[in-house]
Structure 1
Amino acid sequence: MRPAHRHNEKQDLSHRQRLFHCSSTPDLGKVTRHWPDILRLAASIYTDKVSAYDVVRMLQRGGNPTALGEAIAVYEPFSARTAP
């Protein structure tokens, strides 16, 4: 019996890098331009003022990330690298 799905870690990493446009030097300009919106979104999530459905709609259109979605995608790996 053959396995239904084989996980290819190298291919998965490559897919995530393309999806989130990861590079060794993040474009912090995107984060800076959208910082007020990122903070508003974080506060709205924290206080339950926005649903998960609305967050997903704000971060992508037609399966592609919006400018705010790209800014968060840039910020997330950067913040993980700089965390203590």
Structure 2
Amino acid sequence: FNNSRSLHFFLAAWPVVGIWFTALGISTMAFNLNGFNFNQSVVDSQGRVINTWADIINRANLGMEVMHERNAHNFPLDL
């Protein structure tokens, strides 16, 4: 660091950024966002998605995974 002002700014900002990213990670895991996969397998030259059977199976697997999670809010089934 070339002066004490930049050093003190770094020492003050680094824990704040760490706390922000920790809160972001905890909230991500709390809402079960670790198992989602929205990657499509085939995209044409203009960026449009060409759906394949793998995409349909992937979407079905996501649905079954979410329905079997304990912390998922399955609104119609929890009444």
- Is the shorter-chain TM-score for this pair beyond 0.5, marking a shared fold? no
Q: Which has the higher contact order (CA 8 A, sep 6+)?
A: 1
The structure richer in strand per residue is 1
TM-score by length of 1: 0.27
Going by fraction, where is helix more abundant, 1 or 2? 1
TM-score by length of 2: 0.28
Bigger-Rg structure (1/2): 2
